[in-house]
A and B are shown apart, each in its own frame.
Chain A
């Protein structure tokens, strides 16, 4: 690849090269080299490793299960207290209390801080290609706080997925499905086996639901084409009964355990059959799910499903059967070793060249325009009345609220779903809003465009000609560049 091809390739599988970033001669090696280990998430302010300033005191990413447990507990407590206060305070005071104690810390600060960190890694982190694959996996195993109050668990959950990217799909699957964020999101925490001790002893009426069982087969592993039946879904749901969370109790002074938690008492004891395979008997109740997930992770339909999704996300909306076969073979042969699979995707993307390209979704586009221009990420607290950009709200405005995906199938991987007048218009509006900070840094437009696309490119020629027009300000030209086909397609 020459320099311009390299610059383009870096936009396809990363976020483009920053103005101060050297363009490597071995692009495939550069990209594949990022797949072996998981970089830690930090609030990087630049590519020299400095961290963002002006972060509020004490702001940090929750890491350990104890920290998550404590935060979830505090969130619950704040919510209960806020409900109590609503009974005694005036409506205005009660609303103020709710805002300060519940809305601000958990519904605004949590997603803001996580999206800021995600942006910092994409824009200023050492491994942008790794970040793109991370975005793929957080989307594959989507959780959102819509139904249950799990805001504080989402960031740590996504970073857990990240950790498994240097390991095996099966391990990622196992931890994702049993993670507190997931069992709460897809209602499994309440699912109890109809013949479980917990139910038969107390004659309680509640029992199981199919939500997580179905999505385990449909979204996370096999996909419907594998031909599983309603009975398989129910069997998977039964195998999942008892997997929930143990939250810290109100009367405990110390955080209780919080994490993958199996309650034998709530588990459906008999054996179940999924896709012709029996689970139970020799296995302990707890191990039934782990065995099921091992089998699902190794199922050829899962390899095909994941390979199809990866090819669609990084290479083309319509991957050929040959491409899917090649990636599936790598997936199966490596037993779902993700660095190996990711490297194969990178090699396929490189060999496809410019024939196959992807239209960037709003998130990829947003981080790309920051990275290629070298603009600083905005640190504006998501407080009421503060002016300026809050990145999580901005992504929502662009049509992709990363921490609030509407459905468990995640954001679309297809170009066509990101093409609508409203969506495109919002990118133009944002680019125009974003441009003044580039103008204030001096005139670097030509430099950036030449570096990314060359002097012979259509975009460079168009912008050069337009500069002579009195109607076009430098701000306007930046907005035009950032929404040009050259940037919209990676």
Chain B
């Protein structure tokens, strides 16, 4: 397929015409957003391989699974993403390809700061774009499924962290006295009032603590988050934090290190779907990664730090059908600095659309309160 035809094809998969911005049928608070962070630099060309691109074979045949799932005539879906592929077939998932941030520095740690802050200067912001979006929408209380509070959710003081633990909580009286001491300290004050809560410990039928290993799989973590989020008044936003996408060596193709990581994304989508119940229709699950990887396989059957990657999204709020892309091509002259997939869609434009969908914030407000992004990245809404 020629590039122009292809773009036409993908554009026809998205709905044309403008939707009124802040006027969705559902009240904004009813909607739910799960963000899955993929640290290490997710290889977009492995997750959603452009198998019909004439140059992909010569660049990375070693990394291409032979049993790709069908995306469309140009893109396949990695076999470790069967749930995602099913949702896409049902019109409830999309991939936006050749996405990325303005940052081109290829450092994990600067990149991971930027993907969460939404500010293109590393380490320049104490708050994250989700936190600011929630603040702008006056929508409080996200939940990060992790022990530390990730930057992306900072900025909304009501957001929390949770992660399965085997440690039993002390009695209420202990918490009360701790709170009393903490209330006088600015750094601890936000937590002082929230300490006395239900026990994190979960017991099995015979009364013994449930093993953490079972509760800490991608599937279980997402499901537990979703079960909390589906409650009326539950957290509007959830964040999952996965690492290990930095596949410099022995990345694998259909199976291997990278396939295992991709399966975590798929398991998380599956777990969320099962936990969220009827709210799936008002849900959006979306991935965030700091950068993509080199278009070509490197010398150690892996890939090095690159630029463009892709964003995966699933849920009832997905409107764009199939795979959306302004494909830059993979010829050496088309690659960024001759080595990385070029970014043609600002990832922040995708997240802006997600923010608009979930929180009902218009683009003007997002530009002002959350982050500045390239509004002309695509001409139709990706999400309802």
Contacts and interface: CB of A to CB of B under 8 A. Distances in A.
Interface of A: 146-147, 186-187, 190-192, 194, 205-211, 214, 218-219, 224, 230, 233, 359, 397, 399, 406-409, 412, 415-426, 428-430, 432-433, 458-459, 462, 466, 469, 471-472, 476-477, 479-480, 483-485, 488
B212 to A, nearest CB: 9
A5 to B, nearest CB: 20
B27 interface: no
B147 A429 contact: no
A415 B304 CA distance: 32
A187 B304 CA distance: 11
Given A146-B244, A421-B161, A422-B163, A433 B300 contact: no
Contacts of A409: 108-109
Contact of B166 (A359, A397, A479, A488): A397
Interface string B154-193: 0000001111011111110111111011101101100100
A209 B339 CA distance: 13
Contacts of A428: 169-170, 174-175, 178, 195
B70 interface: no
Given A425-B195, A476-B171, A210 B305 contact: yes
Contacts of A146: 244
B207 interface: no
Given A206-B301, A211-B248, A426 B148 contact: no
B300 A423 contact: no
A206 B299 contact: yes
Contacts of B162: 421-422
B144 to A, nearest CB: 8
Contact of B170 (A412, A479, A488): A479
Contacts of A187: 248-249, 300, 302
B167 A206 contact: no
A256 to B, nearest CB: 23
A408 B41 CA distance: 14
B110 interface: yes
A93 B109 CA distance: 43
A209 B302 contact: yes
A417 B148 contact: yes
A286 B187 CA distance: 51
B228 interface: no
Contacts of A422: 146-148, 160-163, 165
Given A191-B300, A472-B177, A484-B181, A421 B160 contact: yes
Given A206-B301, A211-B248, A218-B107, A424 B191 contact: yes
B126 interface: yes
B367 interface: no
A155 B302 CA distance: 28
B105, B146, B298 pick with most chain A CB within 10 angstroms: B298
A416 B273 CA distance: 33
A359 B161 CA distance: 19
A406 B106 CA distance: 18
A479 B169 CA distance: 11
15 contacts: A190-B299, A206-B300, A211-B304, A359-B187, A407-B243, A409-B109, A420-B144, A420-B161, A424-B188, A425-B195, A425-B200, A426-B165, A428-B170, A462-B181, A483-B178
A248 to B, nearest CB: 21
Contacts, number: 167
Contact of A210 (B169, B180, B182, B248): B248
Contacts of B39: 406-407
Contacts of B175: 428
B379 interface: no
B188 A209 contact: no
B254 interface: no
B122 interface: yes
Q: Do most interface residues of chain B lie in helix, strand or loop, or is the interface mixed?
A: loop
B3 interface: no
B276 to A, nearest CB: 22
Contacts of B255: none
Contacts of B86: none
B177 A207 contact: no
A230 B249 contact: no
B332 interface: no
Contacts of A186: 248
B241 to A, nearest CB: 9
A194 B44 CA distance: 26
A411 B357 CA distance: 35
A207 B108 contact: no
Contact of B187 (A206, A419, A423): A419
Nearest to A469: B173
Contacts of A458: 181, 184
Nearest to A425: B195
Contacts of A419: 149, 187-188, 191
A476 B165 contact: no
Given A210-B248, A397-B165, A397-B166, A420 B187 contact: no
B249 A190 contact: yes
Contacts of A477: 177
Given A472-B177, A485-B188, A423 B243 contact: no
Given A208-B299, A419-B149, 11 more contacts: A191-B299, A209-B299, A214-B107, A409-B109, A416-B126, A424-B191, A428-B169, A428-B174, A433-B167, A471-B176, A479-B178
A19 B76 CA distance: 66
Nearest to A219: B109
A480 B195 CA distance: 13
B161 A432 contact: no
B167 A485 contact: no
Nearest to B192: A424
B169 A429 contact: yes
Given A190-B249, A191-B300, A429 B167 contact: yes
A476 B173 contact: yes
A105 B147 CA distance: 28
Contacts of B246: 211
B181 A209 contact: no
Contacts of A192: 299-300
